Structure 1
Amino acid sequence: MNQTNHERFTILLMSLAFFGLTVESFVAGWEFWVPPLIILGTLSIWLMHISGYPEYNIRKVAYFILSMLAVFFHGVHDSSFFDIALIVVFAMVTFSFYNNAYMMNCLIAEYITLLCLQFFVISHGSGIVFDTMNISRVFLHVSIVFMMYYCSMKVISSRTEMQQSYEDSEQQIEAVDADMEDFLSNISHELRTPVNVVNGMSEMLIKKDAGNEAINIKNAGIRLAYQIEDIQDYTECKREKVILEEDDYMSTSLINDVVVGFRFLNNEKKLELIVDIDPSVPSKMYGDVKKLHKIFRHLLENAIKFTRKGGIYVKMFSENTDYGVNLCIEMTDTGIGMDRWSVASVSKGMYQVNKKRNRSSGGIGLGLFIVYGFAHRMGGFVKIESEKHVGTTVRVTIPQKVIDKEPCLAISKSFSGDIVFHVRSDKYKVPKVRDFYRAMATNLASGIGVPLYPAETIKEIDRLKEKLDISVIFMGQEEYEENPAYFDEMSKGDVVVAVSANAGFKATPGSAVLVMPKPLYAYPVIKVLNEGKNAGNLANMEQTERPTFTNVRALIVDDEPMNLIVATELFKEYEIITETAGSGKEAISKFRNNDYDVVFMDHMMPGMDGVEAMKQIKAAAQEMKKSIIVIALTANAVSGAREMFIKEGFDGFIAKPINIADFERVMMRELPKSGEDKGGQSA
């Protein structure tokens, strides 16, 4: 019985007892002014219970005091001499549920007091005669009361011990969980450093054309880095200690993350990925873009993992609200699906559909729990709809502030003509994939406000050419390969022909056919519509050139020699002049004797840690009237690490393993003038 029901049950027993006492008071002709007080007291305890005021412990004492007053009122009358034991036992049973020994002590003391009062009254001329029968009755009643008192105290003591034992067990379990989570967190931190080395060295080997072995090593390193992040994210979600790192971001970067992630993942099952982004989504929003990226990654990996054939449909749209928008992310697959029990279990942590050692799906089973944890921390929610052997749809809705409400995708005002979508519906073994493509095309056309016409055959295209002013025709690779000469000829005219194709596909030499690498998504479509035959580099939404920081002098501080090698090689690609230091003391000494524009500082180093070294370098810079930028380059990448390092005095933060996009973003933000002063930088 929970606290509310227990309280209600106690009040109900008291109310019945008070009602009987009131009736008895009228029948026996006891004091006339007491029954109204009893009725008022009954109403008061119900009012306290319903209102919940004052707090529970105070209400509990109030109920007990009122009951003791009622017992005393009943027991002081000589006609109740033989009923006192019954009333006290009833009160003991009622309040023994509260597990408070002092209540039993108070009741037994009240019983003894009432007996003494009754004996005093009887000794001064009461009508009760103490014959053998009455003496035996009194002895029996006293025995029953004290036995009940003993039993109640025993029960209360037993319950208290059980409760304490349960609390101790809970604390031990929590302590073990906390120790395990600390262990996992520390392990994930320690593993970041060697993984950074593996990824960096494998990248160096790839640049030296070391072969597929180096590529496989790098891919394995990236996968391990993701799993390390998952362990860290899981422990933070489990502890409810997820810290948001919010900043402005471009909404199209989320979709680019999905596309790049899909190209990286193993797709031996030849699954189709269809990405449908609503063009009206605000172009720039404010939120934790890293956690949004992770949500996308986990959803995509799960969908691929449990889908044997067919494809995955990613949809991103927004709903306007007073505070900005609700960003909605939907991931639908044609996979094995889940039953109701599985759907209910995924939010509880480390749930996997197939836990056998020979299971065909990979991963460590933390993805959806992390999705739930991040979504809830950002003020959103997750909804899962699934059916066994049909597929699963996961929808994540997260509130975001809007920085720039302009649509993320827009068609040029100069565009004119009609668009044809040429895809054969019978080529898909899983019909839902055809529906995914149609939904994406329809939503995109509706979003940008252009007419779209489907055509499954060449004859239908010819009929549409007679009626419409066709300016662009989109198609799949199979459709093009069935009639390459037809479309090559068409591309040489005024019609733009764009083919969505697998990696490595090339159109007929000499034709003007544009190739859009799969997966098909909105960005290359919009680019084709806006630029026509001049559209180039349709594989990536982010086409900015790699920035350079010519002649920028950097000091890299790390106690791990291999990390120094990796960072040095990486920074050379950006034309940064580097020097290294193996400790905080060496870094301070080199800073005093050389000129640097930026210092990359590791955090955990023996002797002097990175924070102390940074503070001494900044103090030395102030003393020498120099300006210096110090960026934390560390494997300490728990939630809130960036804020912690910035608060300590660092100018920027980059986590290991080094993410190129993060590195470039931090450098562009922290060195906007240094590049110009040192020789210029391009972006």
Structure 2
Amino acid sequence: LLTNLIKDTASEEQKQYLNVLEFSATNLLSVVNDILDYNKIELDKIELEALPVNLPGLLQKISNGLAMKAAEKGLEWKLEIDEILEERTIITDPTRLTQIIYNLGGNAIKFTNDGAVNIKVKFIEQNDKKINIEFSISDTGIGIDMDRQEAIFERFTQASSDTTRKYGGTGLGLAIVKRLLKLFGSTIQLESIPEQGSVFKFAIEFTLYNGRLEHVSGFTPVKTSLNGMKLLIAEDNSINVLLLEKLLAKWDVQTTIAANGREAVSKILNDDFDCVLMDIHMPEMDGFEATRAIRVLSDPLKAQIHIIAVTASVSHNVYDRIMAAGMHDFLPKPFQADHLYDKLQQVHKSRTLDTAIPVKAAG
């Protein structure tokens, strides 16, 4: 969040340094998210979203981050996309597809000391409703012994006993890729020769989107205004509040602050909001208790307000507790501005549609 705010007044050189800082922080966050995601997958808590996506745009965005990482190691980086895909818009979960490609691309860079890493995206076939696309991530890295090529897709497992010592990581990345691809109805294929490199391949059948788009996921990083949205921030950390207020002001979101869960319930009783960002750990009344109190309010509109939990907890049952309390969604701390925006935009769109539906007159 902080780098996102500083960029507004930074010079071009400062922006480059901030981009590197942000990229490094994102990598650290990805380790934490790997652990959280694997746990959610094991508990069958992940459901794929279905959003219209411009695939080349999404891939270019992923590639920009990975290219920087490859350049740091002096590696050649190449992204190849069949031209025919430029004219296609697909329905998919851009967050999970990004996670798969980012994990595979990041691994390829990590285990390659010289040479190149390539991502190829190939059109296979399509009909009126579906399109089949193949993804391959190749490298000229250390390769993987034949007898380890199945084991590396199991949790906390790497190619050799000294891999973690030399290269780091959790040993969860490929296990997550395998399980996410299963949700997409796909499987991963691996071809590898030790000391020569590896090629990871998978194919996914996507539904084609033929509607008219105002915003396509992955196509543009521009954040449109969320003007008219009223958001309650339930957060006891003043620094977090300051950062959120500054960020949300950029999106024209009107904010109100509650320092604890008891204040949050009181403010909802006395005002109308579109959404609540609910910190879990607060004094006097925590986020769980506050949510339960909101859900039993006599006003049905207030009782059903959209609540997004915000938590730094990595306990195995935090997701279950969030859902059991009656919250709609959650953001793990520290979160990225893009993730917050996407969740708020969904709420804003649904509220806009609700108010736009004409009420039929009686009689």
Per the shorter chain, which TM-score range? 0.7 to 0.9
Compared with structure 1, are the counterparts of its residues 357 and 292 closer, same or farther at alpha carbon in structure 2 (3 Å cutoff)?
closer
SS at match of 1:548: coil
Q: Measure how far apart 1:294 and its partner are.
A: 0.9
- Contact in 1 for aligned 2:119/2:137 (Cα 8 Å): yes
Amino acid at match of 1:265: K
How far apart, CA to CA, are the structure 1 residues paired with 2:68 and 2:305?
34
Aligned equivalent of 2:299: 622
Aligned equivalent of 2:47: 244
Aligned equivalent of 2:35: 231
Amino acid at match of 1:631: I
Compared with structure 1, are the counterparts of its residues 294 and 654 closer, same or farther at alpha carbon in structure 2 (3 Å cutoff)?
same
Identity %: 24
The structure with more radius of gyration: 1
Cα distance per residue 1:23-45 (max 9 Å; x no partner): xxxxxxxxxxxxxxxxxxxxxxx
SS at match of 1:267: helix
- Contact in 2 for aligned 1:242/1:377 (Cα 8 Å): no
Amino acid at match of 2:230: R
SS at match of 1:380: coil
How far apart, CA to CA, are the structure 1 residues paired with 2:38 and 2:220?
34
Aligned equivalent of 1:563: 240
Aligned equivalent of 1:297: 102
- Contact in 2 for aligned 1:601/1:633 (Cα 8 Å): yes
How far apart, CA to CA, are the structure 2 residues paired with 1:572 and 1:642?
29
How far apart, CA to CA, are the structure 2 residues paired with 1:398 and 1:541?
18
Compared with structure 1, are the counterparts of its residues 324 and 673 closer, same or farther at alpha carbon in structure 2 (3 Å cutoff)?
closer
SS at match of 1:385: strand
How far apart, CA to CA, are the structure 1 residues paired with 2:111 and 2:329?
39
Cα distance per residue 1:519-539 (max 9 Å; x no partner): xxxxxxxxxxxxxxxxxxxxx
How far apart, CA to CA, are the structure 1 residues paired with 2:149 and 2:221?
41
1:376 to 164, 182, 186: 182
Aligned equivalent of 1:352: 158
With 326-335 and 643-652 compared, the bigger mean Cα shift is at 643-652
1:269 to 70, 73, 95: 73
Compared with structure 1, are the counterparts of its residues 351 and 672 closer, same or farther at alpha carbon in structure 2 (3 Å cutoff)?
closer
Cα distance per residue 1:438-480 (max 9 Å; x no partner): xxxxxxxxxxxxxxxxxxxxxxxxxxxxxxxxxxxxxxxxxxx
How far apart, CA to CA, are the structure 1 residues paired with 2:44 and 2:154?
16
Q: Which has the higher strand share?
A: 2
Question: Within 5 Å, which residues of 2 pair with 1:577-592?
Answer: 577-592=254-269
- Contact in 1 for aligned 2:228/2:254 (Cα 8 Å): yes
SS at match of 1:542: coil
Cα distance per residue 1:522-571 (max 9 Å; x no partner): xxxxxxxxxxxxxxxxxx97336321234643220124433323222211
Q: Measure how far apart 1:606 and its partner are.
A: 5.3
How far apart, CA to CA, are the structure 1 residues paired with 2:25 and 2:140?
29
Cα distance per residue 1:498-533 (max 9 Å; x no partner): xxxxxxxxxxxxxxxxxxxxxxxxxxxxxxxxxxxx
Amino acid at match of 2:151: S
TM-score by length of 2: 0.76
With 390-399 and 581-590 compared, the bigger mean Cα shift is at 390-399
SS at match of 1:381: coil
Amino acid at match of 1:260: N
2:145 to 305, 316, 339: 339
How far apart, CA to CA, are the structure 2 residues paired with 1:559 and 1:549?
24
Q: Measure how far apart 1:279 and its partner are.
A: 4.0
Q: Measure how far apart 1:662 and its partner are.
A: 2.8
Amino acid at match of 2:310: T
Aligned equivalent of 1:515: none
How far apart, CA to CA, are the structure 1 residues paired with 2:80 and 2:37?
28
Aligned equivalent of 1:659: 336
Compared with structure 1, are the counterparts of its residues 579 and 263 closer, same or farther at alpha carbon in structure 2 (3 Å cutoff)?
farther
With 332-341 and 212-221 compared, the bigger mean Cα shift is at 212-221
SS at match of 2:167: coil
How far apart, CA to CA, are the structure 2 residues paired with 1:272 and 1:549?
40
Aligned equivalent of 1:531: none
How far apart, CA to CA, are the structure 2 residues paired with 1:224 and 1:263?
17
Q: Measure how far apart 1:638 and its partner are.
A: 9.6
Q: Measure how far apart 1:583 and its partner are.
A: 1.5
How far apart, CA to CA, are the structure 1 residues paired with 2:2 and 2:221?
25
Q: Measure how far apart 1:284 and its partner are.
A: 3.8
2:62 to 258, 262, 287: 258
1:404 to 189, 198, 209: 209
2:194 to 388, 391, 413: 388
Aligned equivalent of 1:313: 118
Compared with structure 1, are the counterparts of its residues 665 and 247 closer, same or farther at alpha carbon in structure 2 (3 Å cutoff)?
same
Q: Which has the higher helix share?
A: 1
Compared with structure 1, are the counterparts of its residues 627 and 356 closer, same or farther at alpha carbon in structure 2 (3 Å cutoff)?
closer
Cα distance per residue 1:210-232 (max 9 Å; x no partner): 96886665444222211101122
Aligned equivalent of 1:484: none
- Contact in 1 for aligned 2:236/2:260 (Cα 8 Å): yes
Amino acid at match of 1:339: D
How far apart, CA to CA, are the structure 2 residues paired with 1:648 and 1:324?
39
Q: Measure how far apart 1:202 and its partner are.
A: 4.8
Structure 1 residue runs without a partner (length 5+):
1-199, 407-539, 677-683
Amino acid at match of 1:592: L
Amino acid at match of 1:669: Q
Aligned equivalent of 1:465: none
How far apart, CA to CA, are the structure 1 residues paired with 2:68 and 2:298?
44
How far apart, CA to CA, are the structure 1 residues paired with 2:184 and 2:84?
22
Aligned equivalent of 2:359: none
- Contact in 2 for aligned 1:547/1:664 (Cα 8 Å): no
Q: Measure how far apart 1:267 and its partner are.
A: 2.2
1:631 to 282, 299, 307: 307
How far apart, CA to CA, are the structure 2 residues paired with 1:640 and 1:671?
29
Amino acid at match of 1:393: V
Compared with structure 1, are the counterparts of its residues 405 and 312 closer, same or farther at alpha carbon in structure 2 (3 Å cutoff)?
farther
Aligned equivalent of 1:364: 170
Aligned equivalent of 1:547: 224
- Contact in 2 for aligned 1:254/1:292 (Cα 8 Å): no
Cα distance per residue 1:67-104 (max 9 Å; x no partner): xxxxxxxxxxxxxxxxxxxxxxxxxxxxxxxxxxxxxx
* Structure with bigger RCO (C-alpha 8 Å, 6+ apart): 2
Q: Measure how far apart 1:605 and its partner are.
A: 4.2
Question: Within 5 Å, which residues of 2 pair with 1:416-495?
Answer: none
SS at match of 1:337: coil
Aligned equivalent of 2:251: 574
How far apart, CA to CA, are the structure 1 residues paired with 2:315 and 2:126?
31
TM-score by length of 1: 0.43
Aligned length: 341
Question: Within 5 Å, which residues of 2 pair with 1:469-548?
Answer: 542-543=219-220, 545-548=222-225
- Contact in 2 for aligned 1:629/1:670 (Cα 8 Å): no
Q: Measure how far apart 1:640 and its partner are.
A: 12
Question: Within 5 Å, which residues of 2 pair with 1:37-186?
Answer: none
